[in-house]
Structure 1
Amino acid sequence: MVRTPEVVHRGVCIIGAGPAGLSAARALRRLGVPYDQYERHSDVGGIWDIDNPGTPMYESAHFISSRKTSGFFDFPMPDSFADYPGHRQILKYTRDFAAAYGLREAIRCNCTVTGVEQAGDGWTVRLDDGTHHRYRAVVCATGTTWIPRIPRHPGAFTGEIRHSGSFRDPAEFRGKRVLIVGLGNSGADIACDAAANADAAFVSVRRGYHVIPKHLFGIPTDEFGAHGPQLPLRLERPIFKLLLRVLQGDLTRYGLPEPDHKLFESHPLLNSQLLHHLQHGDVAIRPDIAALDGSRVRFTDGGTEEIDLILYATGYDWTIPYVPDEYFEWQDGRPELYLTAFNRSHHNLFGLGYLETNSSAYTLFDHISNVLAQYLHDQEHAPARAAAFDRLIAEDRPRLSGGISFVDSARHRSYIDARTYHRHLAKIRKRIGWQNLTPGMFDQLRAQAPARKAGVA
């Protein structure tokens, strides 16, 4: 057998050119750390390109964090964007970001990484063209919403069963009796689409949720929270809960179960339309599924409904399919990473974007990318600082929940409180001697970017 020659690079490999991968690329580019970037799709944008095969995006999808509190650091979304931008605006913004900082030059699109293996003190990266490349470090940034999770229920169903990852257009619901299973943010959005288009719409839930409107007093809710007084949790929670009660009333009136957890202990359900449709009878809440029976679905309360389409909005399994499982410490389907990015047992193998948070993920990506880039830079230029951080990777076990007892589920075991995360990163930067992100830090990089038309509408 002829062995494939290996191309040796002294730099870093970034896998994925969605928001997390682009954040890492900008941070490395600013410090002059050489890297290559591979993207299996035809352009940058990741899940936000609705035409990418396997994307969970749908026509009515919008950001659940608002324009002013979201986005990349020091690259604000345009004022012309909506308070909660839709997926086309987010895709344009993401591609504008890549163009603004000259990130496209290092990206090889339509190129799939098929394997990553440890090779001495570096990593061998296999591509779908059959070539092998050696890098000193690999950043896995391919996201968490590509492998649909579909539960199994007893019985047989004669109608159509799909996962929400296959859903694109509300017109798919017309003329059908639709059951949405699950009430996360995507499930709530899709339930509203079903309410407005299906012959009948139902949502099956296992627990109650705290529903937070997208605006409070005319201001996006997360912006209201970010710029209001920063209260301790013991005060913030009862005040906010009282405010929601005054604005919304008792949600159990509409069939939603009483939440079995305190406010903020689960990923927030940020939606202003769902209550409207519940109030008008356009969608109805049902309990968990007990069994499937031909064209009918039986629920745990003994009730049944005639259903044409079951759509599971039940989330995704996290995978890094091109890396053998033993290279990451997987717990409950989540990789155990220091500060959500740094592998404790395999040097210079990183994961970026493998987190759940109560804030804008884009901004968090930039803060951790800043630390990651300085660490990789110091390995060659300030090894004593890099070694000090190596000790933290091995020994530091921070609690990043902010004192919140999150719901006991696999999803929430990787959940971080953004304020706590930022505070801990600040301590680490100070201890190691690394820079914080500051406005203007990337201006020179932006000035050096090739002049070209940014993004696509």
Structure 2
Amino acid sequence: MSTRRNDNTDAQGVIDRSGAICIIGAGPAGLSAARTFAGLGIAYEQFERHTDVGGIWDIDNPGSPMYESAHFISSRDTSGFFDFPMPTHYGDYPKRTQILEYTRNFADTFGLRERITFDCSVEKVHADGETWIVTPSVGPAIRFGGVVCATGTNWHPRTPHHPGAFTGEIRHSVTHRSARDFAGKRVLIVGLGNSGADIACDAAQNADAAFISVRRGYHFIPKHIMGIPADQLEGKGRSLPRWIERPVMTAMLRFLVGDVTRWGLPKPDHKLFESHPLLNTQLLHHLQHGDIIAKADIARLDGSEVVFTDGSRETIDLVLYATGYEQRIPYMDDEYFQWSHGRPQEYLTAFNRKHRNLFTLGFLEVNSSAYTLFDNISNVIGQYLKDQTDRPRSAAEFEQLIATDQPDLSGGLGMVKSARHAGYLDAHAYKDYLATLREKMKWNDLTPGGYDKLPSALARATTRTLESR
């Protein structure tokens, strides 16, 4: 538990911290906001329901969707916090324990732990005029000048319902921890996102029989192309217009991967990049060797069997739904947000269009470099908060943008029409737009070494860390 400073308390017993911002969550997004606020001198207090930082990457965090074999889906050198590179001894695609270590090193380097109240969830947040009343699970309610919701998107599993009765076990992938759990079972994985593909590989190597049920086809991209992590190659290719880049990449994948329908998968019904591609050719290896069998969508459940839409059926012990998550903010009433396809519709994924100083950080679907994006949008949030006191006219100008601006952040991608892709954005388009916005608003940009204005102890720690990498 952090030590909360003494503040005034009103007649209702609410502590007045209206000059500070409340950050809810100490995963990567919440830590990004905390470092930014500390660097800009913005008063804040942070709450984390778990006993340590790390969010979903801490497999011991109750409700975490993490599993033992998980790795980062984007590569080491494109994925880290700004100005805080991942160690070069990490793999090209770091494993979950390394990502957790890196995240905790980030918190320690910038002295962020001392301002986090651990083992304390936020039960409720509601507006009170221009301020926000935050009710934590421990201690009295607190009045803040703003709230950053940084509690993440992968905590509330989405589980479909199929007709019929099933005598086996049905679980969501949020419960999956170890490939050993599949031993001695006939396992069906339902869904083919990147996590579903990972878990299907666990089943292929450990189950008595493994199957994967898919409704649509996907494009597979090798994690390495010519020895280079694929997302680094894609980043270098961004100088090409999309109408050139896509056919070139499609032709390359046809050569490198081949026709996935040979192994029972459906043909993709969309162009490359119009759905999040699968960076998992290990699954293709298992399909090619018969370690796992691709099946059609589920038609119904029938006792110990699962019946598929092509009429085939299989005896199954465990159905594991890798069907994604609902984005929720359970400590706030839905009326505070405009929801569409299960996603809060925020300006630049962060700024509430109806309520001042209510922010969401990390509620986005993106194709690359999430941590760097967190830092980019944290910077914009912080600059706006500074303007409220230092440059009120500038703050008012930005508030007009929050209310009316409708930027296209798709990067020219016509995404498939699905709930998962409803809020999908292109990382390059997002960063480019934020850079344009910072220039327009005359805000400070993110620059290497730009955190040297942190309090001296933090600055020294940062310098030591950067010099040692």
- TM-score range for the pair, normalised by the shorter chain length: over 0.9
1:8 equivalent to 2:10? Answer no
Counterparts of 1:315 and 1:229, CA distance in 2: 29
Counterparts of 1:234 and 1:406, CA distance in 2: 15
1:293-323 CA distance string (max 9 Å, x none): 0000000000000000000000011100001
1:319 equivalent to 2:328? Answer yes
Counterparts of 1:273 and 1:210, CA distance in 2: 14
1:405 equivalent to 2:414? Answer yes
In 2, are the aligned partners of 1:102 and 1:446 still within 8 Å (CA)? no
Counterparts of 1:447 and 1:41, CA distance in 2: 29
Equivalent position of 1:160 in the other structure = 169
Instruction: Trace 1:304-453 onto structure 2 (pairs within 5 A).
Output: 304-445=313-454, 448-449=457-458
Alpha-carbon offset, residue 219 of structure 1: 1.0
Pairwise CA RMSD of aligned residues? 1.6
1:386-438 CA distance string (max 9 Å, x none): 11100100110111111111010111110011111112112211111111111
Instruction: Trace 1:1-400 onto structure 2 (pairs within 5 A).
Output: 4-9=12-17, 10-228=19-237, 230-400=239-409
Classify 1:185/1:129 alpha carbon distance in 2 versus 1 (closer, same or farther; 3 Å).
Answer: same
1:318-355 CA distance string (max 9 Å, x none): 10000110001111110000000000001111100000
1:227-272 CA distance string (max 9 Å, x none): 3462111111110010011011111100110001110001121112
Per the normalisation by structure 2, the TM-score is 0.94
1:334-377 CA distance string (max 9 Å, x none): 00000000000011111000000111111100000000001011
In 2, are the aligned partners of 1:329 and 1:336 still within 8 Å (CA)? yes
1:107-126 CA distance string (max 9 Å, x none): 11001100000011100000
Counterparts of 1:129 and 1:417, CA distance in 2: 39
In 2, are the aligned partners of 1:12 and 1:135 still within 8 Å (CA)? yes
Gapped regions of structure 1 (runs ≥ 5): none
Alpha-carbon offset, residue 82 of structure 1: 0.6
Structure 1 residue runs of 4+, over 6 Å off? Answer: 450-454
Alpha-carbon offset, residue 226 of structure 1: 1.7
Alpha-carbon offset, residue 446 of structure 1: 7.7
Alpha-carbon offset, residue 3 of structure 1: 7.6
Per the normalisation by structure 1, the TM-score is 0.97
In 2, are the aligned partners of 1:67 and 1:81 still within 8 Å (CA)? yes
In 2, are the aligned partners of 1:100 and 1:446 still within 8 Å (CA)? no
Three-state SS of the structure 1 residue aligned to 2:46 is strand
Alpha-carbon offset, residue 129 of structure 1: 2.0
1:262-287 CA distance string (max 9 Å, x none): 10001121112111101100001000
Alpha-carbon offset, residue 131 of structure 1: 1.1
In 2, are the aligned partners of 1:4 and 1:132 still within 8 Å (CA)? no
Counterparts of 1:238 and 1:170, CA distance in 2: 37
Counterparts of 2:147 and 2:309, CA distance in 1: 47
